[in-house]
Structure 1
Amino acid sequence: MNRQPLRLAIMEATRILTEAGVASPRSDAELIASHVLGVERGRLPMVPLVDPPVIDAIGQLVNQRAKRIPLQYLTGWAALGDITVNVGAGVFVPRPETELLLEWGLKLLHGREYPVVVDLCTGSGALALAVQHARPDAVVYAVDIDAQALAWARHNADVHADAGDTPIRLYSGDVADSTMFAELDGLVDLVLCNPPYVPEGTPVPAEVAEHDPPRAVFAEESGLAVIRHAIAAAARLLRPTGGMAIEHDDTHGSAVPALVRARRVLTDVQGHLDLAGRPRFVTALRVS
């Protein structure tokens, strides 16, 4: 069996993905190769030659990726913070932009013992599980309205609990319900939310349009409908000096901070940029 250069396979994969319009063709080609080989991406140069079945396996995944199936659906996982979660059809794939929101939340919790955290619109459970992993002493609640998303979140919660992480508390609920988590009113240290926020009718990449659940992506009222409810929930749930962080569309750089400032119990309202320098999330503290 003649072994073949992995480098050439990655070059060919990059070419195919480039022609297909994939946003990060070289990165995706390398990540597919590392997935097939079971090695870290940074160690690919240490694998100069591979067997033909490996080339074939890489080619099959590349052809699927060229059809704009999300890379995370092909590998079966996505990363956030120091954890990975399983993802696939029916659940929103965590994005790198949310790393900054997570970092802000963990920094807020620094020095607080046994904090109470609520993750609204949890989806795959990634944010809640990343917080719980970083802060085993925290009590983390997570909620979503979508049954498929909750099934993924429950699976991921079980996987992380089996691996030794403190279990999160997962619920089915609507962020618009003013009685949701009523027993936690005024007791929460941190509220996080990555809601559906893309204005309806906005053109989106094929990976989003054809695979991400529309309910997890788009929102009415120019993308602000769910955000309004999340802000109201945060204002109700937070304890004095507690903090909230809500992700939003890059067109909401003025609108969302204004909505937060309209809540008199919230102060120190700040907008934050994402990795590409676009407005991406807003934070605030509950007045002391």
Structure 2
Amino acid sequence: MTPTGSSARDLLRWGTSLLADAGVASARHDAEALLLHASGLERARLLTLGAGDKVPGEAAYRELVAERSSRVPLQHLTGRAWFRHLELAVGPGVFVPRPETEVVAQEAVDEALRLVRDGGRPVVVDLGTGSGAIAAAVATEAPGARVLAVEKGPDAHAWAARNVEGTGVELRLGDLADAFADLDGEVDVVVSNPPYIPPDAAPIDPEVRDHDPELALYGGGEDGLDALRAVERTARRLLRPGGLLVIEHADSQGESAPAVLRATAAWRDVTDLPDLTGRPRYVRARRAEQPGSER
């Protein structure tokens, strides 16, 4: 262990080494993030501290590094996660938003902005909002849209309430499977990042497996797509003809997820699209103008 009173650079080297030994892939990044959090300093100021300068919050930093070494998520230790332009409050009981979901949110933002430019006030619904990330992104990036969100988990709902405060998002506590009966046929965009992990595919990373709520991870059914099926049924009920549906899925579900939508005549223009790494990530479709027979 580095002695008490070490320089910022010494503390960063110590923290990075400890985290790397614990198997944290982003050891250097996390060590720095924790030191910035513990010290309350800006990065430029922190790295200009001399060897004789006392680093504020050194004891707290050492405790945080020890917790991160036990694979407590970085976001739980700092209490925040970044999503697009937003700084979200997160912690135990809520799924930590991931960068790959940002492209899903982009689809909803783009559609809402298009409808606003056309003179409308689009209605956007986020099913299973978790931390409120997608709903808050749409509300802040597409002013003029009416954004609603629902979350079933009481803990996650509490985090979402904190994150959407002041954005105009209308947040409800409830099940996405029967949400928003008062909006049937009136919604322009339905967007969702539902749970989609199959029951036999437990996440490898301890941060996910041990700390993200199971309600946000496991989609149900042998293929993990039961929650996505529930989203499809609810969206079918909510969307007006021509309305947009966007659902995130696992990169292994690039064929099975769109097949759920193609199994009914309710949808047209069903397309599966990648995230920024090129992996299959979400399915996009439009509510059929004349649904006809819907199985």
**TM superposition score normalised by structure 2:** 0.87
**How far 1:132 moved relative to its partner?**
0.9
SS at match of 2:102: helix
**TM superposition score normalised by structure 1:** 0.89
Residues 40, 254 of structure 1: CA spacing in aligned structure 2 closer, same or farther, 3 A cutoff? farther
In the TM superposition, what are the counterparts of 1:72-87 in structure 2 within 5 Å? 72-87=75-90
Matches of 2:173 and 2:285, distance apart in 1: 26
**How far 1:142 moved relative to its partner?**
0.6
Contact 1:129/1:168, CA 8 A, preserved across alignment: yes
Contact 2:8/2:55, CA 8 A, preserved across alignment: no
1:103-150 residue CA offsets vs partner (Å, 9 max, x unmatched) = 122112223122111000011112111111112311111111111211
**How far 1:239 moved relative to its partner?**
2.0
Unaligned runs of 5+ in 2: 290-295
Q: Which residue of 2 aligns with 1:229?
A: 230
Amino acid at match of 2:219: A
In the TM superposition, what are the counterparts of 1:173-212 in structure 2 within 5 Å? 173-177=174-178, 180-204=179-203, 205-212=205-212
Amino acid at match of 2:20: T
Q: Which residue of 1 aligns with 2:103?
A: 100
2:162 counterpart of 1:155:
yes
1:67-100 residue CA offsets vs partner (Å, 9 max, x unmatched) = 1001111001112122122111111111111111
Residues 47, 132 of structure 1: CA spacing in aligned structure 2 closer, same or farther, 3 A cutoff? farther
Amino acid at match of 1:137: G
Contact 1:235/1:263, CA 8 A, preserved across alignment: no
- Matched length: 279
Matches of 2:86 and 2:92, distance apart in 1: 20
Structure with the greater alpha carbon radius of gyration: 2
Aligned-residue sequence identity (percent) comes to 43
Contact 2:39/2:56, CA 8 A, preserved across alignment: no
Contact 2:128/2:176, CA 8 A, preserved across alignment: yes
**How far 1:56 moved relative to its partner?**
2.8
1:142-196 residue CA offsets vs partner (Å, 9 max, x unmatched) = 11111121122222233xx1xxx3x21111222222xx31222222121111111
**How far 1:228 moved relative to its partner?**
0.4
- When structure 1 is superposed on structure 2, of 28-37 and 56-65 the one drifting more is 28-37
**How far 1:33 moved relative to its partner?**
2.2
Contact 1:116/1:189, CA 8 A, preserved across alignment: yes
Amino acid at match of 1:265: A
Contact 1:65/1:71, CA 8 A, preserved across alignment: yes
SS at match of 1:92: coil
Unaligned runs of 5+ in 1: none
